[in-house]
Structure 1
Amino acid sequence: MKYISRSGAMTIAVGAGLSLVVLPTGSASAAEDIHVGCNDIPGLVDAINQANTNGGRITLAPRCTYTLTTPENPDDGLPEITGDVAISGNGSTIRRAPDATESFRIFHVVSGGTLTLKSLTVSGGVSSDFGGGAANEQGTLNLNDTVFKDNFAVTGGGVSNDGGRLNVERTTFERNRAAGFGGGVLNTGDGTTTMKGGSLLKNRAVTSNGGGFENQLGTASLESVSVRGNTGIEGGGIRNVNASTLNLKSTTLRDNIAVRGAGLSNLTTTFGTATATLVDSLITHNTAITAGGGIDNQSGGQVTLTNTKVVGNIPDNCTPEGSVPGCTNPTATIDPPSTQGLQSDDDVKDPE
């Protein structure tokens, strides 16, 4: 039996109690775990660099907070993911320090890289560009039992998936903010996102669209997801735009707020037809300031409802009238709420 412990630049290997050998860290095999002590940031950076080369599995200390005070490179708190890296958090958190003076996201997956996160919270990331918590550029990002909360970026406040694969299971995106598109998640550049279970909760696109989820020129499938309490100008819960494909199954859009398209905004542009298919889903109690409390289907977009209810939204369920087959509006007129509280000047400021 072998036990591998890494701290700093040395690896200690003990075999069957017979010998003690000090080896260079690079000599460990890809199948071995790399254990990182609580809040050992140099050890975490070293572990990621090793895993980029050897494909190692990184295990964090249980229920610990790892606080990043400075960026590892100009944009990222940790080394770019270029290899096959898996991090098991054991209920721990990796965060940008609240008093950090520099802006940086937490994770960045580049083309050809694969990052798998399990049982981990990622919080406090700040990007002056895209992906406050994590940016995935033509790589693969797998999230299992993970939480992204209180991250901020210009686009993709929680996660930005640009031309890559984002695979999400039982994961929560909560209170993330974008100055522009995609408060919780931005899926763009022919990216593919698959989300099963979990929630998009109280995210905001402060001055733009897709409070919970923005799907631009991408393909997104959400199954058994709760999309609740998100806010944006168009698409408080979800916006699907620019020849994108959106599939919702057993998913609920509830209590989202927008100027229009509070639950779902589906917008066809010159890039092509936006297509949304909803199966066994529910859109209810969403509030729009002007129109499309439940669904705003603009410019000839295609929305298909199968065993799906769009009910109880304010001021209407679907707009334009008749644009979503099977969706009807109440006959009584409901006055929309005022715009007060939707946003303020302070909302667009960097949280620093």
Structure 2
Amino acid sequence: MRFISRSGAMTAAVGTGLSLAVLPTGSASAAEDIHVGCNDIPGLVDAINQANTNGGRITLAPRCTYTLTTPDNPDDGLPEITGDVTISGNGSTIRRDPNATESFRIFHVVSGGTLTLKSLTVSGGLSGDSGGGALNEQGTLNLTNTAFKDNSAVTGGGVSNNGGQLNLDRTAVERNTAASFGGGVLNTGDGTATMKKGSLLKNRAVTSNGGGFENQVGTASLESVSVGGNTAIEGGGIRNVNGSTLNLKSTTLKDNIAVRGAGLSNLSTTFGNATATLVDSLVTHNTAITAGGGIDNQAGQVTLTNTKVIDNEPDNCAPEGSVPGCTNPTAAIDPPSAQGLQSDDDIKDPE
């Protein structure tokens, strides 16, 4: 017998198969807190399955490492997120075992699902497709005080957002690797990504573009984000391409490396014009092998408002004049030769 009370009234449900005409607030179907013991992987799997059904809040043991040795399904370490699931990590880590024989990402949010991660580190995910740490496919992925580190995939080494909503708040995306594009984060398929007060650091797109962040057919807004030490062929820090929209506010792009567009690559194609707006931001000390040390703007539109693009190598912006308000230093004048400075007659032994 289960008793559910509301406003002093009591309703009794006896036996099975009995339905109630009215279910009061706080019924058995409401979301409940589910606590999972340290490194209890079966318990974590069960908790996610329950939360998918009822909308659950999962709490992990503080500062514990949860190690996944085998996948839950062929592509994912944990069950797919189909409902409304929240996981509070309490400073814990969920990782793929470095010695695992199978490749799998950690999280996968499918269409209609919502996953919220708080105070959690996700690491070691390895996907032969997209999203080494997490793949969000037309769902919602919220990351708060979270870190995605040392994950790898073909695209979107850390996080891949395909047609969904991705929100990063005070979140670090570091040392992730994509074999192709989007070393840290990939936003594509008309997806929307927002990032505030976090970092994209030391991510790498090995054979392609968007070392820190690849915005490909999407809309992305970054505010108060540090984008540094990322590498790629084009867009070491960020690449914005194929009709995408990029908004940067109070954001720094520094110490990124690429063949072209070390800080930012903004590229328009037959798929549409790419537009990038930088407000109160700084692009500095980025290094390109050929051109566009700070910004490489290929037929797109880049707008700078109270933004500095300075001290990049070999130039600040390319092509010359493509970014209004961005200037390149004048060519350096070679110093005179030693012969021009003094003749042999001028050189005397010290007395």
**Could you state the TM-score of these two structures normalised by the residue count of structure 2?**
0.87
Secondary structure at the residue paired with 2:190?
coil
Output one character per residue of 1:289-321: Cα deviation in whole Å (capped at 9) or x when no partner.
0000000000x2000000000000000000000
Distance in 2, matches of 1:56 and 1:129, equals 28
Secondary structure at the residue paired with 1:218?
strand
Equivalent in the alignment of 1:324: 323
Distance in 2, matches of 1:310 and 1:119, equals 34
Output one character per residue of 1:47-100: Cα deviation in whole Å (capped at 9) or x when no partner.
000000000100000000000000000000000000000000000000000000
1:188 aligns with 2:193: no
Question: CA 1:154 to 1:254, structure 2 compared with 1: closer, same or farther past 3 Å?
Answer: same
Equivalent in the alignment of 1:199: 199
Question: Contact 2:31/2:51 (CA < 8 Å) preserved in 1?
Answer: no
1:151 aligns with 2:129: no
Q: Which amino acid is the alignment partner of residue 143 of structure 1?
A: L
Q: Which amino acid is the alignment partner of residue 66 of structure 2?
A: Y
Output one character per residue of 1:233-283: Cα deviation in whole Å (capped at 9) or x when no partner.
000000000000000000000000000000000000000100000000000
Q: Which amino acid is the alignment partner of residue 197 of structure 1?
A: K
Please show how residues 338-349 of structure 1 align to structure 2 within 5 Å.
none
Equivalent in the alignment of 2:302: 303
1:109 aligns with 2:109: yes
RMSD: 1.0
Query: Could you tell me how far 1:29 is from its partner in structure 2?
Result: 4.5
The structure whose Rg is larger is: 2
Tell me the percent identity.
88
Please show how residues 219-238 of structure 1 align to structure 2 within 5 Å.
219-238=219-238
Query: Could you tell me how far 1:31 is from its partner in structure 2?
Result: 3.4
Please show how residues 208-227 of structure 1 align to structure 2 within 5 Å.
208-227=208-227
Distance in 1, matches of 2:257 and 2:149, equals 19
Query: Could you tell me how far 1:332 is from its partner in structure 2?
Result: 2.5
Secondary structure at the residue paired with 2:116?
strand
Query: Could you tell me how far 1:32 is from its partner in structure 2?
Result: 2.0
Question: Contact 1:266/1:297 (CA < 8 Å) preserved in 2?
Answer: yes
Distance in 1, matches of 2:312 and 2:332, equals 12
Output one character per residue of 1:102-129: Cα deviation in whole Å (capped at 9) or x when no partner.
0000000000000000000000000000
Equivalent in the alignment of 2:38: 38
Distance in 2, matches of 1:212 and 1:30, equals 40
**Could you state the TM-score of these two structures normalised by the residue count of structure 1?**
0.86
Q: Which amino acid is the alignment partner of residue 318 of structure 1?
A: C
Distance in 1, matches of 2:296 and 2:30, equals 50
Equivalent in the alignment of 1:80: 80
Query: Could you tell me how far 1:134 is from its partner in structure 2?
Result: 0.1
Secondary structure at the residue paired with 1:190?
strand
Q: How many residues align structurally?
A: 307
Distance in 2, matches of 1:214 and 1:272, equals 16
Runs of at least 4 residues off by over 6 Å: none
Distance in 2, matches of 1:302 and 1:333, equals 29
Equivalent in the alignment of 1:18: none
Q: Which amino acid is the alignment partner of residue 324 of structure 1?
A: V
Equivalent in the alignment of 1:314: 313
Q: Which amino acid is the alignment partner of residue 201 of structure 1?
A: L
Query: Could you tell me how far 1:147 is from its partner in structure 2?
Result: 0.2
Structure 2 residue runs without a partner (length 5+): 1-26, 334-351
Equivalent in the alignment of 2:55: 55
1:246 aligns with 2:246: yes
With 199-208 and 325-334 compared, the bigger mean Cα shift is at: 325-334
Output one character per residue of 1:143-167: Cα deviation in whole Å (capped at 9) or x when no partner.
0000000000000000000000001
Distance in 1, matches of 2:198 and 2:317, equals 26
